[in-house]
Amino acid sequence: MTVYACVEGPLGAMLLVGEEISDGSAALASLSLPEQKGAVTVQEGWRHAPEAFETVAGQLRAYFAGRLTRFDVPLAGSGAGTEFQRRVWSALEEIPYGATASYGEIAARVGVSGAGVRAVGTAIGRNPLLVVRPCHRVIGADGSLRGYAAGPERKQLLLGLEGALAG
């Protein structure tokens, strides 16, 4: 059963969507933000179940309070995305809290070069787990804050929270 909840935070109302698991909690499939490109919307037949997301909601609160640097929540849809997207998303999870990587660096980590950087950017843009899977830590080679589905202001807020912005 697909379940969902909304959690308020400094980025706005975050929509959490997941698959209910046997203990009544949910394996997270998506975290999207208001006005995000390609944001998930609540569908007919989904059940509102805030209690199923207590673990991830608590971790999000701790992250935004500066007390959590890495999420540890059950994820749904291990087969979600293409094989290439999963490789890129895995590389995102290796970027430490408080650090950034360029699109070119991520491309090199997944074994592509040249025109492949654009494909890496597309895969990053399709990350269904904003904040939890840290696509906000990927910046332009020149240090510019580009390419965040929820907007550059939110990317700046997240990187500022993590202390990853110079000056």
Catalytic residues: 135
Own/partner contacts of 20-26, CB < 8 Å, gap of 24 or more, are: 20/47, 20/49, 20/52, 21/74, 24/51, 24/52, 25/52, 25/53, 25/54, 25/55, 25/74, 26/52, 26/53, 26/56, 26/74, 26/76
